[in-house]
A = this chain, B = another copy of it.
């Protein structure tokens, strides 16, 4: 069970967009791809999905680009995962076998706890602390 690269890319790019939030600037694909080390051609797909999911807005043509659709405090990690992957923790088997039902039930309890935790993180928490690119004078 691993976190997909795609979700990681999405989180990084959204964090970057959160930094620009409040300004009038729109971020371009090339900029985002560069500063967050995401393949530009792949980023195109990710941004498209984020847009269809209602997390970001876009403008075409010259001086076009991307921006958050809502304030960073209102976008949770859970939303990002659901837009990109669908379910946070997908239980595949439909309770087959003698112990199937009970096992599935337990894992659904785990999922509930996991969703609560992931929902507690919002985009602003991804940019608040000092990270790389933060300079001390």
Contact = CB atoms under 8 A, between A and B. Distances in A.
A59 interface: no
Interface in A76-93: 77, 81, 85, 87-93
Interface residues of A, number: 49
Oligomer: number of copies: 2
A50 to B, nearest CB: 15
Interface string A103-137: 11011001001100110010001110101110000
Contacts of A3: 1, 89-92, 107
12 contacts: A1-B2, A2-B91, A2-B92, A3-B89, A5-B93, A8-B93, A16-B99, A36-B98, A110-B114, A110-B117, A110-B121, A113-B114
